[in-house]
Copies of this chain bind each other. A is one copy, B any other.
């Protein structure tokens, strides 16, 4: 039975396991920190994928340790499956942005409300940009992995672009006056 191709979430777990055996908990943490910005996953999913992958021999569960920790290790089969996955054309990206949906139906949104939404979302992006900028500084300081850098720079570029977009929004959309007090067009304060 030629087990159907890995899904990206499972594959990423195998990817992390190349760095050594890890528990589900550890994997969640690592995934959150390393790919969380463009690939989300939950605890539930992780435990499920690990169990599934164990049953087909892609990973091997070790003995339970102290707090019931159960480390999983990559098997040779798992390594091969990962290699195959990583060699495949990555699928198209998908963005799902509820704010844009609301905006698309903007003519049905009560006056002022859209301005609130926009302001709130802008703030989130501003903060995210700032945090990326901090991370970037750290990364550069640490003399680093070009791959981590590339993904981080994607985030940086993306957040900057989104902020630019927010600041260019027509006043009909943004609302003449926002509720949250916030200077109108200051680019970003980071580091």
Query: Measuring CB to CB, which residues of chain A are less than 8 angstroms from any residue of chain B?
Result: 8, 11-12, 15, 18, 34-35, 37-40, 82-83, 86-87, 89-110, 113, 117, 120-121, 124, 145-151, 153-154, 157-158, 160-162, 164-165, 168-170, 172-173
Determine which of B18, B95, B161 lies in contact with A93 in the assembled complex, contact meaning CB atoms within 8 Å. Answer: B95
Chain B residues whose CB sits within 8 angstroms of the CB of A146 once the complex forms: 106, 170, 172-173
The residue in chain B whose Cβ has the minimal distance to the Cβ of A102 is: B90
In contact, A157 and B165 (Cβ under 8 angstroms): yes
Chain B residues whose CB sits within 8 angstroms of the CB of A121 once the complex forms: 90
In contact, B82 and A90 (Cβ under 8 angstroms): no
In contact, B147 and A34 (Cβ under 8 angstroms): no
* Contact of A117 with B104 at beta-carbon distance under 8 Å, contacts A95-B95, A157-B162 already known: no
The residue in chain B whose Cβ has the minimal distance to the Cβ of A91 is: B98
Chain B residues whose CB sits within 8 angstroms of the CB of A97 once the complex forms: 38-39, 93-94, 154
* Contact of A108 with B82 at beta-carbon distance under 8 Å, contacts A90-B121, A102-B90 already known: yes
Minimal beta-carbon separation of A123 from chain B (angstroms): 12
The complex places the Cα of A173 from the Cα of B144 at a distance, in Å, of 13
Chain B residues whose CB sits within 8 angstroms of the CB of A113 once the complex forms: 87
The complex places the Cα of A162 from the Cα of B162 at a distance, in Å, of 11
The complex places the Cα of A114 from the Cα of B124 at a distance, in Å, of 32
Chain B residues whose CB sits within 8 angstroms of the CB of A170 once the complex forms: 146, 149-150
Q: Give 8 A-B contacts (CB < 8 Å), ordered by A residue.
A: A8-B101, A35-B104, A37-B95, A89-B120, A91-B98, A95-B95, A105-B147, A149-B170
